[in-house]
């Protein structure tokens, strides 16, 4: 009697580009049927937000790394472009698969695509199953006492800590029976993800190592070098004392379960602060899950009445790091060059756009979405609304960052600014965050011609602050 091999299992990869701690892949491997690993670049399904340019660069390299890792287990990674549902249907027809597995996504527009896919497959009598991995908590299950969702971080994090069991990471499968048929897969280059004309990705290549091996190396280096003291040093951009795991998390090359497991035995002083920062990511997703329009609509509707300025010249100056405020410009240039910006500087740069320039936070959100390698539907939208004051548990609108004082506090020797803006690097510490106050002779000696080699301030911060407060007051008064 011949034993029949079961029909293949399709494992869909999305923002979970890893082999370790991958419940969908592990389940497929346990089943013992041939595994079809499939990535679909879905830029056609309505409502799905197209990835920004920096994320596309990351995706290219992350898929390359995933393909290599899967290859080591015996599985081919098939690449396709099109509507997820249609591509999966074709893959089922070509391979005869009767199981489709994936790890859950929590962006409501993506979750809706997955829910439709699951219902459609089950209607056809196929097995469709999804798993956890991206988040420590299930946003649907963690509820307040009154059955709603959390709008304030502290009780959210307390509930997470009290109620959510953080499971251990799932072991990677050993040798897997990879399906050996043909799906008409595209090559990685055919996905057309990396910039060529021009190739602006040099800074990204120099800075990052996409893929789960890069993610694990980053985590270990962070734990060994920077976790002790993280709580004190995380706010100083020149120290590079944060984990820089955000793009790896955004692409699911590492899971919060793996991070928490690595911290379990840690006695380092920064451990609980670091855990709670990862908790902000959980909170952002909690908010996004329950507020699908988080990137488009003010969480607090009273902000709909805010009179934003339409100033394209100022927006461009901000985008290109030419506002004349060194800490803001340094951040925006770091972003442009590396696809990442330090959290403290993100807050300062965002505050400057929203409050000093009075430009709608959604313009900033879009720019970050396009330029960040860690662009993340939940973290980006929630953080922009946090700075704007329009979000849940947000910084009050009237708390307006002074870019000079923030620079002097968090970059006291100007190392960060000098690294990003070499043209003002010769200024002494005293003027590095306020070049316009430097004596003419000093500027001349430093080869700085304000307005030519480096801009004069786009706005006067004091006056801009007054303006922002007046506009905010009239929003509140309804006048
Ligand atoms: P670490 O300090 O090492 O923290 C570890 C992880 O915790 C991060 O990788 C991240 O996943 C999470 N985390 C840390 N701080 C926050 C936070 N404030 N909110 C949510 N999660 C957090 N983060 C993104 O991942 N993607 C974005 O698109 C994004 N956009 C932002 C936009 C603005 C205007 C602001 C102010 C912040 C934004 N953040 C975003 C949050 C934060 O700046 C980054 O997560 C952090 O700088 C990433 O660096 P890290 O990995 O070294 O952080």
Distance, in Å, from the CA atom of 166 to the CA atom of 240, rounded to the nearest integer, reads: 28
Cα distances (Å, whole numbers) of residue 322 to 20, 152, 325, 452: 43, 35, 8, 11
Q: In whole angstroms, how far apart are CA 474 and each of 139, 285, 310, 320?
A: 36, 32, 18, 31
- Ligand 1 centroid vs 241 CA: distance in angstroms? 13
Record: fold of 9-133: Rossmann fold (3.40.50)
Give me the catalytic one of 99, 280, 369, 386. Answer: 280
> Cα(first)–Cα(last) distance of the chain, in Å?
84
In the chain, what are the domain boundaries? 9-133, 135-168+211-290, 301-477
Q: b/e per residue, 361-385, with b = 16+ CB within 10 A?
A: bbbbbebbbbbbbbbbbbbbbbbbb
Concatenated DSSP letters for 170-237? PPPPSS--B--S---PPPTGGG--S--TT---HHHHHH---SHHHHHHHHHHHHHHTSTTHHHHTT-G
470 pLDDT above the threshold of 90: yes
Q: How confident is the model at residue 395 (pLDDT cuts 50, 70, 90)?
A: confident
Task: Return the ∠ at Cα 368 (arms to 434 and 38), rounded to 5°.
Answer: 150
State pLDDT tens for residues 64-95.
999 999 999 999 999 999 999 999 999 999 99
Q: Are 323 and 317 in contact (CB under 8 A)?
A: yes
User: Ligand 1, atom 45: nearest CA belongs to which residue?
Assistant: 246
* pLDDT per residue as tens digits for the range 405-442: 999 999 999 999 999 999 999 999 999 999 999 999 99
Contact criterion met (CB below 8 Å) for 245 and 210: no
**Mind listing the pLDDT tens digit for each residue in 222-263?**
999 999 999 999 999 999 999 999 999 999 999 999 999 999
**Nearest alpha carbon, ligand 1 atom 11:** 246
Q: What is the Å distance from ligand 1's center to 255 Cα?
A: 15
384 is catalytic: yes
Sheet harboring 99-103: ordered strands across?
Answer: 77-81, 35-41, 9-13, 99-103, 127-131
Q: Tell me which of 274, 277, 360 to substitute to probe ligand 1's pocket, judged by most ligand atoms within 8 Å of the beta carbon.
A: 277
Structure tokens, 352: 């400057």
Ligand 1 center from residue 379 Cα (angstroms): 7
Asked if pLDDT for residue 1 goes beyond 60, the answer is no
443 vs 399, residue with greater confidence: 443
Does the annotation place 246 within a ligand binding site?
yes
Report d(CA 211, CA 20) in Å as an integer. Answer: 11
Q: List, for residues 148-181, the tens digit of each pLDDT value.
A: 999 999 999 999 999 999 999 999 999 999 999 9
Q: How far apart are alpha carbons 430 and 446 in whole angstroms?
A: 13
215 vs 226: CA distance, rounded Å: 15
Model confidence pLDDT, tens digit, residues 274-310: 999 999 999 999 999 999 999 999 999 999 999 999 9
| Residue 42 marked as a ligand binder | no
Active site residue 340: no
Flag whether pLDDT at 3 surpasses 90: no
**Residue to substitute in 383, 386, 389, 410 for testing ligand 1 pocket (most ligand atoms within 8 angstroms of CB):** 383
φ, ψ for residue 230, nearest 5 deg = -50, -40
Distance 363 CA to ligand 1 centre (A): 19
375 is in an annotated binding site: yes
- Whole-number Å distance between alpha carbons of 334 and 201: 13
Its sign, for the CA torsion 319, 322, 328, 334, is positive
Q: What are phi and psi of 38, to 5 degrees?
A: -135, 130
Is domain 135-168+211-290 given the CATH code 1.25.40.80 in the classification?
Answer: yes
Q: Which atom from ligand 1 is nearest to the alpha carbon of 341?
A: 47
Instruction: For residues 320-331, give the mean pLDDT.
Output: 98
- pLDDT range class, residue 479, cuts 50, 70, 90: confident
CA of 243 from ligand 1 middle (Å) equals 10
245 is in an annotated binding site: yes
The superfamily CATH assigns to domain 301-477 is DNA Cyclobutane Dipyrimidine Photolyase, subunit A, domain 3 (1.10.579.10)
270 within 8 A of 395, measured Cβ to Cβ: no
Task: Please say if 182 is a catalytic residue.
Answer: no
Minimum-distance ligand 1 atom for the alpha carbon of 248: 9
Ligand 1 pocket list (CB less than 6 A): 234, 242-246, 249-250, 277-278, 280-281, 284, 343, 346-347, 350, 368, 372, 374-376, 379-380, 383-384, 387
3-state secondary structure of 22: coil
State the Cα–Cα distance between residues 190 and 162, nearest whole angstrom: 47
Respond yes or no: is residue 280 known to be catalytic. yes
Q: Report whether 77 contacts 68 (CB < 8 A).
A: no
The reply, when asked if residue 222 is annotated as ligand binding, is no
Radius of gyration of the chain (CA): 24
Which of 434, 401, 371 has its CA nearest to residue 58? Answer: 371
CA of 254 to the centre of ligand 1 (A): 15
Indicate the average pLDDT of the chain. 96
274 is in an annotated binding site: yes
């Amino acid at each position: 009697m011949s034993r029949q091999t079961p029909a293949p299992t399709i494992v869909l990869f999305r923002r979970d580009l890893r082999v370790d701690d991958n419940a969908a892949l592990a389940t497929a491997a346990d089943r013992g049927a041939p595994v079809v690993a499939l990535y679909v670049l879905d830029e056609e399904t309505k409502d799905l937000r197209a990835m920004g340019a920096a994320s596309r660069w990351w995706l290219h390299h992350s898929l390359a790394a995933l393909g290599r890792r899967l290859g080591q287990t015996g599985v081919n990674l098939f690449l396709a472009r099109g509507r997820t549902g249609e591509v999966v249907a074709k893959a089922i027809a070509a391979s005869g698969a009767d199981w489709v597995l994936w790890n859950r996504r929590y962006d409501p527009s993506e979750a809706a695509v997955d829910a439709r896919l699951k219902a459609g497959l089950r209607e056809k009598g196929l097995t469709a199953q999804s798993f956890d991995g991206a988040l420590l908590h299930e946003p649907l299950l963690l509820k307040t006492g009154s059955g709603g969702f959390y709008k304030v971080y502290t009780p959210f994090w307390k509930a997470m800590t009290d109620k959510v069991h953080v499971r251990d990471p799932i072991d990677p499968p050993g040798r897997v029976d990879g399906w050996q048929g043909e799906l008409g897969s595209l090559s990685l280059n055919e996905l057309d993800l990396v910039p060529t004309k021009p190739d602006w990705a040099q800074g990204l290549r120099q800075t990052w190592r996409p893929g789960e091996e890069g993610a694990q190396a980053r985590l270990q280096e962070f734990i060994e070098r920077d976790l002790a003291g993280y709580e004190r040093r995380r706010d100083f951009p020149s120290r590079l004392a944060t984990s820089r795991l955000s793009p790896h998390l955004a692409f699911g090359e590492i899971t919060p379960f793996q991070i928490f497991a690595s911290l379990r035995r840690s006695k380092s002083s920064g451990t609980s602060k670091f855990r709670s920062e990862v908790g902000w990511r959980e909170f952002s997703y909690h908010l996004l899950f329950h507020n699908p329009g988080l990137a488009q609509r003010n969480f607090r509707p009273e902000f709909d009445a805010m009179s934003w300025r339409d100033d394209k010249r100022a927006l461009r100056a901000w985008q290109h790091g030419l506002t004349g405020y060194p800490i803001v410009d340094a951040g925006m240039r770091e972003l442009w060059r590396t696809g990442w910006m330090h959290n403290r500087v993100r807050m300062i740069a965002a505050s400057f756009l929203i409050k000093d320039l009075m430009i709608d936070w959604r313009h900033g959100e879009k720019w970050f979405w396009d330029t960040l390698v860690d662009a993340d539907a939940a973290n980006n939208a929630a953080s922009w609304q946090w700075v704007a004051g329009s979000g849940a548990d947000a910084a009050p609108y009237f708390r307006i960052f002074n870019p000079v004082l923030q620079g002097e506090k968090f970059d006291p020797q100007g190392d960060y600014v000098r690294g990003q803006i070499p043209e003002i690097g010769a200024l002494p510490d005293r003027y590095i965050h306020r070049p316009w106050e430097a004596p003419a002779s000093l500027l001349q000696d430093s080869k700085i011609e304000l307005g030519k080699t480096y801009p004069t301030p786009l706005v006067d911060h004091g006056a801009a602050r007054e303006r922002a407060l007046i506009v905010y007051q009239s929003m509140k008064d309804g006048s």
